[in-house]
Structure 1
């Protein structure tokens, strides 16, 4: 079947361009060159570039066109270089009393979001997380109060930083059923975002858990049309640079730990960003190991955003990953269940 003139003059150049763009972004992601802000933004669009190349590749194969080579090559490079954003897995592991579960949730200071108006949102969030009954709870943008601590009384060990009103950082919290033997804060510079950590005694083993909240991208779908493009790109560039500094600070601190490490929290960037790539190096992503679907964690109208993660060093075996479709914040909670690997 031959192409029509419309296909020849419009579809072919568009297909070639978007296939090349996907290839360039794959190469950029694994390069050690300095960040290019435009590329950092385009990395957010990779799911759509993949979808376009899949559709055009399928069409080209049906009509037996040589155009198939472009989307085919771009998809092969994408899957081997960057990996999938959709996964399908089953939990076929036998549960054990030695399993450890961590639930991570950006609670947005218990104020809900634009889709919900509830004066009781704090209790709704706390009722949800306690009903899930994880061993460890990690909150970003946490609002502490006596009633909060009362509702979380099943977690006798906790670390909240900063304490109310002591600094300008957005509070982070870790609640645990197992003892905390050490704790601390990384104290990022010139930002309300931060990272904290605890060392947890689990039976005869000890692990280090980081709860992190990287610099926010600070834009919403409803505001994009009103944004000055140059100002938006400049601000996002500053955000990416701060995220890079923060990620390097976490990586350096992590290397000093004598215990196996788990990192969870709100990374404020996609799995195709360089920030995620640096933090997840030599670690397992619980969603990619045992998740299902897109794994969306941000309530965002335009894109299926996964910006909240639970990463684990190879000392751990991931047993289960859950994404929760509950509208209690602008983020969706996630939970991972794992265990120490057998020596």
Structure 2
């Protein structure tokens, strides 16, 4: 049993080390580490537990490899887990801007019933936001598009949303807008210049390529035969490699938008990947800071679907701005938790 425990512990540490490669290795070159990166918090926790047990047993030689893995993981841990810090509130007369982002899942509850207009209006009235970033939200062409309910709830009359696409930015004072979509109305990038109390800000609303985790999880549930589960799992792996490569290309595009922006940038949205990913590493240029790392506490889980514990929704904020607060909200209908950000100068 002792040898088996040692083998299992080292195997977990080795798998964690493999997942650490995800942020450095482009999925165009080698994509499997990206899958392990999804499980990295749990793998690192198990590696730490293994190290502590071996330390208590005084198995000194067996400490070397897990200790090395944990040491190498420290830069990633600082992204995966936000530490509580004491932040001085801005002066009372300092202007601030509040931004909310959230994937709305077409305003459909878990029981597949649609949210009512009153539910939508009441929810958004409680966000007290100056700028609203939405993904998977119905356009004007749909009969039940919820646009009027969101405008009434937020008080924001101006909207940036291309016809028949599902990404929208609401704000008053829009002075410029550009959009980028490729082959899908679901996934794209909106660049919206907004005049605020902090001056003109470039708001980048992004919905990067989805893994369709929920659909895949249903396919490998216990209700299906073993052969169907294995077939679905194989498709899941192949599909994940493809979508990881797509997100990497989208991240490179976003980085160019950030670097070329003449205004301070606030980037938000559903990135469909974790902080230990290549996508995250590519987007987080020297010009941006992760708002959750700056002002959040804990893992900051935003996805509440079949694979819990994932932080895949983000706010990245220009380093010329200061993050006052960052919090998660609870969505009445979506499997994503919205985020609420407050910034100042």
Q: Are 1:328 and 2:322 matched, yes or no?
A: no
Residues 15-67 of structure 1: per-residue CA shift (max 9 Å, x gap): 22221232233244224684423211111110111111111112112222222
Q: Gapped runs of 5+ residues in structure 1?
A: 1-5
Question: Which of 2, 25, 28 in structure 2 is aligned with 1:7?
Answer: 2
Q: What is the CA distance between 1:119 and its match in structure 2?
A: 4.3
Q: What is the CA distance between 1:195 and its match in structure 2?
A: 1.0
TM-score by length of 1: 0.87
Q: Are 1:155 and 2:160 matched, yes or no?
A: no
> What does 1:196-207 align with in structure 2 at a 5 Å threshold?
196-203=190-197, 205-207=199-201
Q: What is the CA distance between 1:327 and its match in structure 2?
A: 3.8
Alpha-carbon distance in 2 for matches of 1:329, 1:173: 16
Question: Which of 19, 26, 36 in structure 2 is aligned with 1:25?
Answer: 19
Q: Which residue is 1:53 aligned to?
A: 47
What is the RMSD computed on CA atoms of the aligned residues?
Answer: 2.3
Question: Which of 212, 217, 220 in structure 2 is aligned with 1:224?
Answer: 220
Alpha-carbon distance in 1 for matches of 2:265, 2:100: 16
Alpha-carbon distance in 1 for matches of 2:332, 2:13: 36
Alpha-carbon distance in 1 for matches of 2:115, 2:23: 43
Equivalent residue of 2:169, what SS? strand
Check whether the contact 1:212–1:263 (CA below 8 A) recurs between aligned residues: yes
Equivalent residue of 2:182, what SS? coil
Question: Which of 257, 260, 275 in structure 1 is aligned with 2:279?
Answer: 275
> What does 1:152-231 align with in structure 2 at a 5 Å threshold?
152-153=151-152, 154-163=154-163, 165=164, 169=165, 171-177=166-172, 179-189=173-183, 192-203=186-197, 205-220=199-214, 221-225=217-221, 226=229, 228=231, 229-231=233-235
TM-score by length of 2: 0.86
Q: Gapped runs of 5+ residues in structure 2?
A: 222-228
Greater shift after overlay, 283-292 or 28-37?
28-37
Equivalent residue of 2:218, what SS? helix
Residues 159-210 of structure 1: per-residue CA shift (max 9 Å, x gap): 33222x4xxx3x1111124x11111101224664111111111236211010
Q: Are 1:36 and 2:30 matched, yes or no?
A: yes
Aligned length: 326
Alpha-carbon distance in 2 for matches of 1:252, 1:331: 27
Q: What is the CA distance between 1:224 and its match in structure 2?
A: 3.1
